[in-house]
Structure 1
């Protein structure tokens, strides 16, 4: 069997780069999930008034999925001025109307970080996009490695 060094270095190097990318994406996902858990552990509940609704279309495939994120105003504990912030999570359907009261949870250290109370306790989705990207990068690394194996043991030995 004759080893072709240039294609071997390119394919093995590409595999290693994709594995490093997958590891980085996995670490980012874990970081996002950890921050979500930390937020939940120290969050303070408050009643907030919806001042606006921002619709965001998420398109995966042919049909867009519209999610609604309320902009709320509330007075944090120990403060005299209200804080206005866009919630970190969308609200369950149907969305509230402007002027409605909703329960929120906010970070006392950063009152502009607000979450809708109805979604509390669900940190499983936090970081999911990063985990999916890490999986795709790892699968790509496996595919490049498989291509090298095919080249090395099937094509180059013939």
Structure 2
């Protein structure tokens, strides 16, 4: 019975890792698709949101500008939060930025300076998938340990 439980748990955790990997690929494809159809515009920074990301002792502050821009063919400006942070140093309110926006969804805006960072899209999902796969391998290793040391004695 412990064999079925341990191996079943390892397979289940491995399936979760696979789902996380597929989600990461989906996010990366979505980011690449956004870049393929994005239209560039000049936007004005109307606000700046600071987010502290910390994995260790020191927080890493990232800045996400809120921008106002006029999409192609529109008369009214659109205000939106950027999807990615801006490179340091962050812009000030009133500064202009080159942005890329989705012509179908004007609230999807990205800072043009981050255009080459599509490879970072989905990274969190890939890390979670790797860690989950490691847990699955750990469960399988525990099963092997029990088989060779405990149950064969």
TM-score, length basis structure 2: 0.98
2-structure distance, mates of 1:110, 1:97: 25
Q: Does 1:137 align with 2:132?
A: yes
Equivalent residue number for residue 55 of structure 2: 60
Contact 1:40 1:121 in 2 (8 A): no
User: What does residue range 89-100 of structure 1 map to in structure 2 within 5 Å?
Assistant: 89-100=84-95
Q: CA RMSD in A?
A: 0.6
Structure 1 stretches of 4+ with a deviation exceeding 4 A read: none
Cα distance in structure 1, aligned partners of 2:78 and 2:15:
41
Aligned residues: 153
More helix by share: 2
Residue 83 of structure 1 aligns with which residue?
78
1:36 and 2:28 equivalent? Answer: no
SS in 1 for 2:118: coil
| 2:144 corresponding residue in structure 1 | 149
Deviations 1:27-47 (A, max 9, x none): 000000000000000000000
Structure 1: 5+ residue runs without aligned partners? none
CA distance in 2 between partners of 1:96 and 1:104 (Å): 13
Between 32-41 and 10-19, report the one with greater CA deviation. 10-19
Cα distance, 1:10 vs structure 2: 1.3
